Amino acid sequence: MTQADVLSPVRPKKTSPGTRRNRRSATLVVGCVLAGLVALLALVSLFWLPYPTDDTSGGRLAGPGGGHLLGTDKLGRDLFTQVMTGSRIAVEAGLGSVLIAATIGVTLGVLAAFAQGWLDDTVSAFLDILIAFPTLLLAMLIVAARSATLGSAVLAIGLAQSAVVARLVRILAKRVLAHDYITAARTSGTSWSRTVAGHVLPNIWPTLVVNLALQFGLAVLAEAGLSYLGLGAPPPNASWGRMLQEAQATFTTAPVGALAPGILLVLLVIGVNLIADGLRDTLDPATRRRRA
Amino acid sequence: MTPVLELADVALRYRGSAGNVVEDVSLAVEAGHSLALVGESGAGKTTLLRLLLGLARPTSGRVRFDGSDLSLRDREQMRRFRRSVQCVFQDPYSSLDPRRRVGATVAEPLRSLGIDTRATAGPKVAAALERVGMPADAADRYPHEFSGGQRQRIAIARATVCTPRVLLADEPVSALDVTTRVKVVDLLAELKQEQGLTLVMVSHDLSVVASLCERTAVLERGRVVEQGDTGQVLGRPAHPYTRRLIESVPRLPA
Amino acid sequence: MTLLDVRGLTVRTTDGRTLVDDLSFSVASGERLGLIGESGSGKSLTTLAVLGLLPDGMSATGSIELAGTQIVGAPEKRLTAVRGRDAAVVFQEPLTALDPLMRVGRQIAEPLRVRTGLKGDDLERAVAHALEQVRLPEPERIARAFPHEISGGQRQRVALAMALACDPKLLIADEPTTALDVSVQAEMLELIDTLVREREMAVLFVSHDLAVVAKVTDRALVMKDGRAVEEGAVHTIVGAPREEYTRTLVASARRLESALDLRSAR
């Protein structure tokens, strides 16, 4: 008898709903609401904005109310407009980075998982170095080579994250490859590509998706950090990071300029983290099988 | 008659290991004469199995299939080989992909060997599942819905769906309960008889070996210390190690 | 004198499944009882319940009295006192019982020190003695080794030495030889048999294998799906099983054994 058998000696056919699961799905719902709020702002900003982004007619540092829901900044631009554009940029930064990280990371990770001997050692050493390499330095190099745009920031963040994803995928895939069903596939003449598509990816994706959701939150934070330093999207595209930076000097007199992007940033990051947390339990094959 | 599978003076040394894991092994698997490889941990049973499955290349010596050297690069030969030689593993919890329906798992050899498409595999999969005594609706379910013994039956269905000539089995019943064990042994005996399967079984369980195999080879530390007719090896063991193995089997009080 | 008295033990999960159902048995001082069952029979959970070690999400009701201490519902502090002193356990997989990062000698020294108060060289000698008792060759070398540096059979002997270090009144052995090679298993069974007889220690021996249980115990309890099926002398259970399930169990074991006899007789 294995340890698992000791813990679940009877295997019922159907999953029984536990309190744990309900709490998890509540986590998922709250996460979706928080992240969805920002996503909605971002979506609407594509079609409609209260004011043009370069409209400075609002008067400097106007308070909330009147024609401006959140007031204006020190150049007289509408803050709500900026927050909406910022939402769009944040979502784009998150999605873009995760897309890059997933594409490069999964490819590299799966290849590394198949590697053996010295090749395996080399690949994992390379990934470790890449992970240790500061994202900021990478971003500065890319900005120096290209220009300070949202694309450069996303590229830098995505590249940095792909090393993290690759290392995770390598470990997960290696664990899958150790199973007898992989050997069975080999002795049935299943090609490597079909083994990856048919066995490896389906078995790692639940854990992977959870991690990518976390990476999304980290990417949003990283983009805010980079644009705070002037390495992100250039004006008049108001990124939350740049809004924070611009509102810094006038924080005591006009706190809304810093509070609004700050709160939304926190909401989005908490939201995706909650989603990741909720997904972990509903998707993870280990917890699902234990319950099953 | 040419043996289906043959190891001739085979030795294998893993990268970085000090010595050979198996050495000087010569074995022949003849059609209709099931062979047991008996030994304890570290005897090199699993390594021999990997060699017989074409998953590893010997450091020296030869692996022959139908009389010709097995070349892992020869695609045409490997396809014939894979179709003729299939495998059942020890741990039924590791040998089935938890995210695949049983039907897709059983159909894998048919599809990977290019024998059938998804559409045409269905009847064969159903027949294979029926042969191992699984209910018809099993194909649409997932492995976690089945017990260890049922999973092992599914694994046997996968290994026999492409009607191989040789079935390699790595401790096929040692993870199972005694009552289940007897049933799976019966199933394997039945398949041997009805399908004309030749069984090559790795096991440390002499009673299972005695139930299923005509020939037995005893391995100790990577070498074959004794081989021959199962009755002879177990009845009149020539090697002290074989005698010790036989004496160690726990017996029910009379 | 009754050492272990289990009355109406029921183990349930929080979501309402009953894994052990109204189980009663007792073990007298120096008595050896076998608990026989297949996977899912609840035999391992029963041993965990006796030690108060049920995993999260499971709870026991009924009564388990071990050397006069009520285990069911007892606070962790009282359980800690009972474990080791009154009952010690050897599990199937010795690796789970041993700390992989600690040398074998230190792992045995810890319970010995607590019980005997020995220090320094004396403690070291006691450790070597404990390892000698389980017939480990070169006890000094083994004591310095890490668990992964010794063989599976040796690890299980170390686990046995740890269990015996506190001289418990009851030794619980949960499939202690299932993970071992046949020849190692035979040695291990003989060792357990000799040691518990020497010390007049009571044993609760859990296994799915009738033949293995018969080597060590005189009385056995057959379990299925969390319930007791049949209890009696091992010889009676094997020779003249009363219940249908026991009959199937014995017949299966006999079937395999007879194949061996048939081949080796020729």
Q: Which residues contact B156 (CB under 8 A, 6 or more apart)?
A: B88, B132, B172, B184, B187, B188, B191
Structure tokens at B184: 């799976």
Interface partners of C (3+ CB pairs, < 8 Å)?
A: A, B
When scoring C237, C245, C256, C266 by the number of chain B Cβ atoms within 10 A, the one with the most, hence best to mutate, is C256
CATH number at residue B223: 3.40.50.300
Reduced to 3 states (helix: H, G, I; strand: E, B; else coil), residue C25 is strand
SS (H, E, C) B44-76: CHHHHHHHHCCCCCCCEEEEEECCEECCCCCHH
Of A188, A198, A203, the CB nearest to B82: A188
pLDDT of residue A13: 35
Q: How far is CA B82 from the centre of its chain?
A: 13
Instruction: Write out the residues of chain C at the interface with chain B, using a CB-CB cutoff of 8 A.
Output: 38-39, 152, 181-186, 189, 208-212, 214-215, 234-235, 238-239, 248-250, 252-257, 259-260, 262-266
Residues 99-118 of A with CB under 8 A from C: none
Chain B positions in Cβ-Cβ contact with residue C250 (cut-off 8 Å): 252
Contact between chains at B95 and A11 (C-beta distance less than 8 A):
no
C39/A3 CB distance under 8 A = no
SS3 B176: coil
Confidence of residue B186 (pLDDT cuts 50, 70, 90): very high
Tally B–C CB contacts below 8 A: 96
User: What are the b/e assignments for B198-235, b being 16+ CB within 10 Å?
Assistant: bbbbbbbbbbbbbbbbbbbbbbbbbbbbbbebbbbbbb
Q: How confident is the model at residue B101 (pLDDT cuts 50, 70, 90)?
A: very high
Place A1 in a pLDDT band, splitting at 50, 70 and 90. very low
Tell which residue, B241, B195, B232, B194, has the closest CA to residue B213.
B232
Question: Which residue of chain C comes nearest to A12, CA vs CA?
Answer: C17
Closest A-chain CA to B75: A189
- Token look-up 């790595």 returns B170
- How confident is the prediction for chain C on average, in pLDDT? 89
- For chain C, say whether A14 makes contact (Cβ under 8 Å): no
For residue B84, is it within any domain? Answer: yes
pLDDT tens-digit readout, A134-161: 877 888 888 888 877 888 889 999 999 9
- pLDDT tens-digit series, residues A85-103: 889 999 999 999 999 999 9
Banded model confidence at residue B118, pLDDT cuts 50, 70, 90:
confident
Higher-pLDDT residue of B107 and A290 is: B107
The mean per-residue pLDDT over the stretch B212-224 comes to: 93
Suggest the residue from C17, C51, C212 to mutate for an interface test with chain A (most A CBs closer than 10 A): C17
Distance from the Cα of A7 to chain C's closest Cα (Å) equals 7
Q: How far apart are CA A153 and CA A147, in angstroms?
A: 9
CATH superfamily ID and name for A78-285: MetI-like (1.10.3720.10)
* Rounded Cα–Cα distance for residues A176 and A182 (Å): 8
Q: In whole angstroms, what is the distance from residue A141 CA to residue C116 CA? A: 66
Neighbours of chain A (3+ CB pairs under 8 A): B, C
Residues A9, C48: C-beta atoms closer than 8 Å = no
Identify whether B56 is part of a domain. Answer: yes
CA–CA dist A245, B142 (Å, integer): 54
Q: Which residue of chain B has the CA closest to A198?
A: B100
CA A239 centroid distance within chain = 17
Burial class (CB in 10 A: 0-12, 13-18, 19+), A46: exposed
B161–chain C nearest CA distance, Å: 27
Q: For A10, which residue in chain C has the nearest alpha carbon?
A: C40
Q: Strand pairing of B5-12 and B22-29?
A: antiparallel
Any idea which residue has 């069984």 for tokens? B199
Q: What is the pLDDT of residue A60?
A: 73
Comparing alpha-carbon positions, the chain C residue that sits nearest to B244 is: C183
Q: Is B107 inside a domain boundary?
A: yes
Residue C164 has pLDDT above 90, yes or no: no
Q: Is the pLDDT of residue B174 over 90?
A: no
pLDDT, residue B252, reads 87
B117 burial type by CB count under 10 A (0-12 exposed, 13-18 middle, 19+ buried): exposed
Q: Burial letters for C166-183: b for 16+ Cβ neighbours within 10 Å, e otherwise?
A: bebbbbbbbbbbbbbbbb
Q: In the predicted model, is pLDDT for residue B163 greater than 70?
A: yes
The residue type found at B58 is P
Band the pLDDT of A284: cuts 50, 70, 90. Answer: low
Q: pLDDT digit string (tens) for C92-128? A: 887 777 888 889 888 888 888 877 788 888 888 889 8
Distances (CA, A) of A269 to A15, A38, A42, A155, A249: 32, 10, 15, 20, 25
Beta carbons of B178 and C38 less than 8 Å apart: yes
- Average pLDDT estimate for B63-91: 91
Higher-pLDDT residue of A251 and A47 is: A47
DSSP one-letter string for C164-197 = HHT--SEEEEESTTTTS-HHHHHHHHHHHHHHHH
Which pLDDT score is estimated for A15? 40
Query: A188 and B109: CB-CB below 8 Å?
Result: yes
Cα–Cα dist A19/A23, whole Å? 6
CB pairs under 8 A between A and B: 74
The closest CB to that of C252, out of B41, B179, B246, belongs to B179
- Whether the per-residue pLDDT at B108 is higher than 80: the answer is yes
Of B231, B244, B253, the CB nearest to C235: B253
Over residues B207-220, the mean pLDDT reads 93
Q: Does A13 touch chain C (CB under 8 A)?
A: no
> Number of structural domains, chain B?
1
pLDDT tens for residues B5-49? 999 999 998 877 778 889 899 999 999 899 999 988 888 888 899
pLDDT at A287: 52
Using CA atoms, how far residue A227 sits from A84, A94, A284, in Å, is 16, 14, 35
ipTM score: 0.89
Average pLDDT, chain B: 91
Cis, peptide link before residue C139, omega less than 30° from 0: no
Cross-chain Cβ contact C264/B210 below 8 Å = yes
- The answer to whether position B74 is within a domain reads yes
Give C242's pLDDT tier (boundaries 50, 70, 90). Answer: very high
- Host domain of residue B201: 5-248
A61-75, A225-239, B195-209, B238-252: segment of lowest average pLDDT: A61-75
Q: Over 70: is that where the pLDDT of C56 sits?
A: yes
Comparing CA positions, the residue from B201, B166, B163 lying closest to residue B184 is B201
CB contacts, 8 Å: B206 with chain C: 182, 260
Comparison of pLDDT for C242 and A68, the residue scoring more: C242
Beta-carbon neighbour count of residue A199 at 10 Å? 23
CB-based contact, A188 to chain C, within 8 Å: no
- In angstroms, the separation between the Cα of residue C40 and the nearest Cα of chain A is 4
Confidence of residue A22 (pLDDT cuts 50, 70, 90): low
Lowest mean pLDDT among A11-20, A213-222, A259-268, C131-140: A11-20
